[in-house]
Amino acid sequence: MTSTVIETEEPRPGILLVRLNRPDKLNAMTSELIQGLHEVLDRVRDDSRVRAVVLTGAGRAFCAGFDFRGYGDAPGAVPDEGRPQAGLRVQEHIVDLGEAFRRVRAPIIAAVNGAAAGGGMALSLFCDIRVMASSAAFHASFIKRGLGGGDIGVSWLLPRLIGFSRASELLLTGGTLDAAEAERIGLVSTVVPDGELLEAALDRASAIAENSPFGVWMTKSVLWANLENPSFRSAVQLENRTQILSTMTKDHQEAVEAFLEKRPPVYRNR
């Protein structure tokens, strides 16, 4: 499917490639772009045919953040609405993407192909895995625009990914992380040459797709849930329940039989 600001394709079986498509504006966020992402995520949320998703940007940037030259009205805007009301509607329209990313059963891989600034950095943090081109960089630009450095869930996600001190420094200074530093501190899993980025992300998506659909769904679900879990005991209890559910699937039986018979498993999501 192709739209004006979001492109999707299936480059490999079961792998959905989603491309932000405003290259002349460095894929800066507009209401149309954010709504397009919402629609794609809603469409694939429970689609068992989609085994993994790769998110990237067209052209030379991943996403340059909020388009200050013209974001547009969020859905549901009311004529003559006050500035706080309209502003909060826009804010929630963007922030709700965080939950939308988590609700998609298939893991989402960010292929960060250039600048990921402000809200663009937040989009990458919503993803389950981040792969980065060697020339790409994260820019914590919120505070450089006269805003609070914590926005769109970044003040919650970033400390959990790189620690409180590093997150504080980055958000308070509005600093930049190049690819090498992002990999060193664990913000991205892999850095590859620019021309190899998409294939690297697709390879990871294919590796995920080799596993049982239910097992992948439960793994993503437990990882995100336990990121918020206050105790080891409650985390393990959640693992126990999802693990027992997994043992009751026909795909688990197929995996065991395939292992014993020394052959690749054939999963049917049953």
- The tens digit of pLDDT for each residue in 175-226 reads 999 999 999 999 999 999 999 999 999 999 999 999 999 999 999 999 999 9
Q: How big, in percent rounded to 5, are the helix, strand and coil portions of the chain?
A: 50, 15, 35
Q: What is the pLDDT of residue 147?
A: 86
Gap between the Cα atoms of 174 and 156, Å rounded:
16
Distance between alpha carbon 242 and the CA centroid of its chain, in Å?
A: 23
Decide which of 1 and 262 is more confident. 262
Q: What is the pLDDT of residue 63?
A: 97
Please state, for a pLDDT cut of 70, what percent of the chain lies above it.
99
Examine the pLDDT at 2 and tell me if it is beyond 60.
no
Burial code (b: 16+ CB inside 10 Å, e: under 16) for 19-51 equals: bbbbeebbbbbbbbbbbbbbebbeebeeeeebb
Burial of 200 (0-12, 13-18, 19+ CB in 10 A): buried
What is the band of 3 on the pLDDT scale with cuts at 50, 70, 90? Answer: low
Long-range contacts (CB closer than 8 Å, 24 or more residues apart) made by 179-187:
179/132, 179/133, 179/134, 179/135, 179/136, 179/137, 180/134, 182/130, 182/132, 182/137, 182/138, 183/132, 186/161, 186/162, 187/130, 187/138, 187/161, 187/162
Question: H or E stretch including 55?
Answer: strand 52-57
Query: Which range has the worst mean pLDDT, 68-72, 161-165, 178-182, 236-240?
Result: 68-72
Q: What is the pLDDT of residue 1?
A: 43
Spatial CA neighbour of 50 closest among 98, 115, 105: 105
Average pLDDT over residues 81-85: 81
pTM across the whole model:
0.94
